[in-house]
Structure 1
Amino acid sequence: MVTSGAITQRLDRLEARGPVIRSSSESDGRSVQVALTDEGHALIDKALPEHIDTENRLLAGLTEAQRDTLAEGLRNLLESLGDTRH
């Protein structure tokens, strides 16, 4: 829920630091494709395990059934906001 200008500024900073690159879309001149560089992949590989550990700690108090209910509720919320990917 940020403006396209804010996204552009964030991508500018990320691209300047090296974890992403942008290229013009071949199918839509108004669009830009963003991809992770090797440095970006390394950063994700380093950060993801810690992020997953944090998620597991946050959800540790829930049973598997409660986790499933939470996931379903969040999925329904995303779909109501226009995210149709499953």
Structure 2
Amino acid sequence: MTATPGDEVDRIVAAWHRERPDLDAAPLQVLSRISRLARHLDRARNSAFAKHGLDGWEFDVLSALRRSGNPYQLSPGQLVAQTLVTSGTMTNRVDRLALRGFVERSPDPGDRRGVIVALTPSGREVVDAALADLLARERDLLSQLPETERDQLTATLRGLLQPFDR
């Protein structure tokens, strides 16, 4: 009797090995797990944000502003670079966040045609609360791993991401 594979990825890889023994499915062992983990993390993150009335994209924009430091403001171009969306998408996002009172626009003193997007006190309050909840949830998720394994995983994932960040 054959041992049952350990998780869903093991079952998927075994099925591909059975159906396409001519292909090396080894990359799936790592990357399918990362993909599946990313989906689970997205659900956990969305749950943490929803508790504070935020969507994930709202948290992304607000947290980019919050991380920028006092006075918590960036140009739309800087927000685009940090959140990896198009300028049209960012315009729409800033409009929606401004309607909620989380950000405000002001003229860019260094560029007559430009604007600056600034975090409002209510935006700062909601992003700070959402971040605290998110970190607590993520800390719980990682608590299963010893610190040395977390450090190794951090280094390994950093190495995998570097080509994309260039």
Q: TM-score, normalised by structure 2?
A: 0.42
Tell me, what secondary structure is at the counterpart of 2:110?
coil
Aligned-partner Cα distance in 1 for 2:158–2:124: 26
User: How many correspondences in the alignment?
Assistant: 82
After superposing the two structures, state which structure 1 stretch, 32-41 or 22-31, moved more.
22-31
User: Is structure 2 residue 119 aligned with structure 1 residue 36?
Assistant: yes
Aligned to 1:18: 101
Q: Which amino acid aligns with 1:27?
A: G
2:14 paired residue number: none
Identical positions, percent? 44
Gaps of 5+ in 1: none
Whole-angstrom CA distance in 2 between matches of 1:70 and 1:24: 44
Specify the SS of the correspondent of 2:127.
helix
Segment of structure 1 superposing worse, 23-32 or 38-47: 23-32
Shift of the 73–23 alpha-carbon distance from structure 1 to 2, 3 Å rule, reads farther
The secondary structure found in structure 1 opposite 2:106 is strand
Alignment of 1:51-62 (within 5 A): 51-62=134-145
2:132 paired residue number: 49
- Which structure shows the higher helix fraction? 2
Q: Which amino acid aligns with 1:61?
A: Q
How much has 1:68 moved relative to structure 2? Answer: 1.9
Once the two structures are TM-superposed, the CA of residue 42 in structure 1 deviates from its matched residue by: 1.3
The equivalent residue for 1:63 is 146
Deviation (angstroms), 1:72: 3.2
Question: SS at the partner of 1:2?
Answer: coil
Name the Cα RMSD after superposition: 2.4
Query: 1:15, CA displacement in angstroms?
Result: 0.6
Normalising by structure 1, what TM-score?
0.72
- Alignment CA distance shift 1:26-1:60 (3 Å): same
Structure 1 residue 75: deviation in Å? 4.4
